[in-house]
Structure 1
């Protein structure tokens, strides 16, 4: 197996990617939406429904004689070639930071070993299993899938089309039964049977019950809807679903679930991604992961508008004009504070980032704005920016004493000897991050300035 490990937001010579040229040919200069159509799992799902997640983001972009990675992290493979994109805020040979984000935000248990020494096939396969509850829940929000199927019967209550060859073979000599078939609208169909086979497969894994416990109600619905389930029918059900993929746009979530179930049930440790499967992978938007992680740390203090769910929408102007979704709005309406999560170093926060937060501060009469960013230096320093007043034309520019923007970093541990050590270190960093935030919120800008 050929494996290349790179960091996100890096520019590297094209020659460095020569060992995985097949992967590069499949993903270079393709957008997230295009890769989704090819069957790669992208988080957050439905990037086209998320205004703050650019649908046209490119995982690997050509730039002169180089390739540049963006905010996307994850794993992509083609045949025996693998590309792993790690977080730039991780140090050492193991990306504990990405592993921790997946555990906190998406509930992936730490049995997923993302280190270079791990068996990449098992790691990718485990990730597929952990995706299952999420995709099952998304699909069943539209109810249990129901479609027309043709059932065969052999009894005396004829209510359908008689099947002469089967009748002769099964009812000779004639004893009163008739072989016939009938087209019925049923929950127990090829797709729900496929999902049931995936459930039973996961249930037999060492940590399968832990995975399925995240979607207990949905699993029960599928089990109740598939009374005809038989373990030995698995290959037949897989073959049928391969030939008849879900195509209707309304059942997009079921199409994704069908694709995931086929990958799980067809998995072979020595050849995931070989054969007819051209390209596969799991990709995570680093900015989205970071924002959701920060929300877990500060949700008691801040509202978190969710543009993907259409919750918490705000307007800049009266008359429903100027739709905005600030990352975070403080719950204290007497001392309003705005927060913005940035998956970038402090020195890279500027220009449009400043304009965005200042516009939100004006809209909500906030005197303080925060940038929450990951810090990989030894000490997470605070960067306080005081808003100016006056103009250079009148030579009266001076800083305001009542309005500021603060870059507040969370220290990401580096060079941890193992994941357990990393957990202890980042838990300490989280407490310092929360305490520092509460301190800056509670102190008046003019007091800070003295």
Structure 2
């Protein structure tokens, strides 16, 4: 009997779609509608990989990032992109969330941001097809090098392990049963075990198994060449690696997830490795009543992509990783004192505050204004920018701040302004290479506002 397969495609940040549009995949939409990414990250972490993983700890995303949000009789999409599936006894259901800049056939902009931010080679096939499980699985493989490199910035993971020996240099606990079995008749050796601090542990073995698994893919070598130094370190650190030991290593990691906050990057890598090794493409979605997929926070991708463009001229505090926090007020124990402007210019004589916004220009307002103006006041900046992607060809919107009040008189200042500055996303590229070339031209134009390029 052929299983029913239903696929629907939507775009991020779109105007609400009638709920009837999602007819046929209700078993999936019922699982995700009106739920934040944090909720899915917490409840489905064994089958849904949310990128970046720190998304589950972000207050902003907890509050307003939903895959589908009900608005009367419609669903509205947010900043989330990616692929979701759900399987039950009746069939398989898929939801593809593309960037709002995608064409009917391709999503070059999503692919381009992934390649710039994650250093993924141009092997991501974003064409829709009947086998969405294969695409889900491929994306898990493609983000592996990024997570491996990020985790290993803290060095190889090292922990205590208990190693078993059988020799004359007894240094640990004697294993009586094993000693009798292996050393009868007695020839001078003693079976014992010793607790040692080692790089060759269950986690590094799990990473090694994932590396060997990817190597066997047709594109595996091309994918891993960008982390060849990290791969070599892992291989050298796991001399006890054996292919037949994979299931034991998987179970050991499932029972002992990394919990220490310092090693959160390794925890993310551990989860990703488990998903790859347990959910091979013929396994994704198997079984009954399972939701699975990989989701990307479009706002994070856009912010990190913008950083790749202007990072030489701007500092980049990072909210999600709690890196380079700034203080709003003097003092230590003040609630809400830490702030994370997206970008602070390195030029402190004519300071600029810039905020990356992955949403249409018409949606930038209200609290966005208040936030940037507060940051500008804090850092003595006279100029602010909202940096957003756009396809309409809009000119910059320059907003001069008012002074005075309606009780007296209101006039525009001539020294404090905020500009909505868009990066033009090509809409008519015939192929990916042409899209990249057009993006380079858009980036050059985008950077002229900051006299960098």
Shorter-chain TM-score: which interval? 0.7 to 0.9
2:187 aligned residue: 176
1:191 to 166, 187, 203: 203
TM-score normalised to the size of structure 2? 0.84
CA offset at residue 22 of structure 1?
3.1
1:446 aligned residue: none
CA offsets 1:156-183 (integer angstroms, 9 cap, x no match): 667622227x955x678x4737784535
Paired with 2:352 and 2:28, the residues of 1 have a C-alpha distance of 45
CA offset at residue 111 of structure 1?
0.4
Paired with 1:387 and 1:5, the residues of 2 have a C-alpha distance of 41
CA offset at residue 35 of structure 1?
1.8
1:104 aligned residue: 116
Which segment drifts farther, 336-345 or 254-263?
254-263
In the alignment, structure 1 segments of 5+ residues that lack a partner are 440-450
Which segment drifts farther, 259-268 or 155-164?
155-164
Paired with 2:331 and 2:168, the residues of 1 have a C-alpha distance of 68
User: Quick check: 1:163–1:179 contact (8 Å CA) kept in 2?
Assistant: no
Paired with 1:311 and 1:85, the residues of 2 have a C-alpha distance of 30
Taking the TM superposition and a 5 Å limit, the aligned residue runs for 1:104-253 are 104-117=116-129, 119-140=131-152, 141=154, 143-149=156-162, 151=164, 160-163=174-177, 167=180, 174=185, 176=187, 180=191, 182=193, 184-185=195-196, 186-242=198-254, 244-246=255-257, 248-250=259-261, 252-253=264-265
TM-score normalised to the size of structure 1? 0.85
Paired with 1:364 and 1:392, the residues of 2 have a C-alpha distance of 27
Cα distance change on mapping 1:223 and 1:63 into 2, 3 Å = same
User: Quick check: 2:102–2:109 contact (8 Å CA) kept in 1?
Assistant: yes
1:16 to 14, 21, 30: 21
In the alignment, structure 2 segments of 5+ residues that lack a partner are none
1:411 paired with 2:415, answer: no
CA offset at residue 411 of structure 1?
0.8
Paired with 1:207 and 1:88, the residues of 2 have a C-alpha distance of 29
CA offset at residue 95 of structure 1?
1.4
CA offsets 1:128-159 (integer angstroms, 9 cap, x no match): 112223333454437524244463x5666676
- 3-state SS of 1:19 partner: coil
User: Quick check: 2:85–2:285 contact (8 Å CA) kept in 1?
Assistant: yes
Cα distance change on mapping 1:393 and 1:110 into 2, 3 Å = same
User: Quick check: 1:149–1:189 contact (8 Å CA) kept in 2?
Assistant: no
1:5 aligned residue: 9
1:67 paired with 2:71, answer: no
User: Quick check: 2:162–2:195 contact (8 Å CA) kept in 1?
Assistant: yes
Paired with 1:306 and 1:274, the residues of 2 have a C-alpha distance of 38
Paired with 2:63 and 2:265, the residues of 1 have a C-alpha distance of 18
> CA RMSD, aligned part only?
3.0
1:316 to 324, 328, 333: 328
2:32 aligned residue: 27
- 3-state SS of 2:349 partner: coil
CA offsets 1:218-276 (integer angstroms, 9 cap, x no match): 4333223321112233344345545x242645565444333322322234433423137
Cα distance change on mapping 1:189 and 1:315 into 2, 3 Å = closer
Taking the TM superposition and a 5 Å limit, the aligned residue runs for 1:253-272 are 253-272=265-284
Paired with 2:275 and 2:331, the residues of 1 have a C-alpha distance of 48
